[in-house]
Amino acid sequence: GENVEQHPSTLSVQEGDSAVIKCTYSDSASNYFPWYKQELGKGPQLIIDIRSNVGEKKDQRIAVTLNKTAKHFSLHITETQPEDSAVYFCAVNTGGFKTIFGAGTRLFVKA
Amino acid sequence: DTAVSQTPKYLVTQMGNDKSIKCEQNLGHDTMYWYKQDSKKFLKIMFSYNNKELIINETVPNRFSPKSPDKAHLNLHINSLELGDSAVYFCASSSAQDYGYTFGSGTRLTVV
């Protein structure tokens, strides 16, 4: 089955710096790649997604890139702010009724 | 108006008891899910329902029994609770299998 690896597990950046989180997957049939942000005590929230026919997508300070050949995709957050501190999850869907999540990255943004 | 609502938010119970968690979504989505999040924050799928029909049962012990009375509701009943069942359980819904999920706020289950 699909296997999703996410790195790093913890990331600490200074306010205003950029943060990059990377994920790799194993199933070449995977075609949908969402990213979720989970704040303390809340459920994960979809922040951006990308499909297999697109290489990059941007929404204000966040962007996602996808390399289907290498089977990896990344989340980029620019001009980080303290409110970006949270756990971020990448996820992969192969078109079935199951989305597999990465293990999560705990992002700390220091003011 | 909450899109995906779960009750209760917290549940503390003794080993061996039976408990239920309820979930409702008002988004008109066809697909609903139960995920378990352990203490290390790992999210693992348990069940997936599409239009009230069970699609995914991810080798969950049969002490866990989901029920979907209609496509807006997905409940989870757990029999004979064990210490290892302690976790946060999330309900989620989506409009199709390859679209993003809307998650509920979770139910923190503690078995003592």
Q: Is the model's pLDDT at B98 over the cut of 70?
A: no
Three-state secondary structure readout of chain A: CCCEEEECCEEEEECCCCEEEEEEECCCCCCEEEEEEECCCCCCEEEEEEECCCCEEEECCEEEEEECCCCEEEEEECCCCHHHCEEEEEEEECCCCCEEECCCEEEEEEC
Contact B42 A101 (CB under 8 A): yes
CB A97 within 8 A of CB B56: yes
Is B38 in a helix, a strand, or coil? coil
Q: How far apart are CA B78 and CA A104, in angstroms?
A: 27
Whose CA is closest to A1, among B44, B94, B40? Answer: B44
Chains A–B, number of C-beta pairs less than 8 Å apart? 59
User: Which chain B residues are Cβ-neighbours of A49 within 8 angstroms?
Assistant: 100
Query: Does residue B97 register a pLDDT over 80?
Result: no
pLDDT confidence tier of residue A78, bands split at 50, 70 and 90: very high
Nearest chain A residue to B31 by CA: give it: A97
- CB of A108 less than 8 A from some CB of B: no
What number of other Cβ atoms are within 10 A of residue A45's Cβ?
15
User: Least CB-CB distance to A43: which of B41, B90, B98?
Assistant: B90
Find the helix or strand (DSSP H, E) in which B57 lies: strand B53-57
Using a CB-CB cut-off of 8 Å, the residues of chain A touching B40 are 103
* Degrees, nearest 5: CA angle A84-A87-A91: 115
Inspect the interface and report whether the beta carbons of A98 and B45 lie closer than 8 Å: yes
**Neighboring chain B residues of A87 at a CB cutoff of 8 Å:** 41
Q: Average the pLDDT over A88-101 and give the result.
A: 90
Token pair listed for A65:
């890139």
pLDDT category at B58 given cuts 50, 70, 90 is confident
Between A49, A95, A104, which is nearest B41 by CB?
Answer: A104
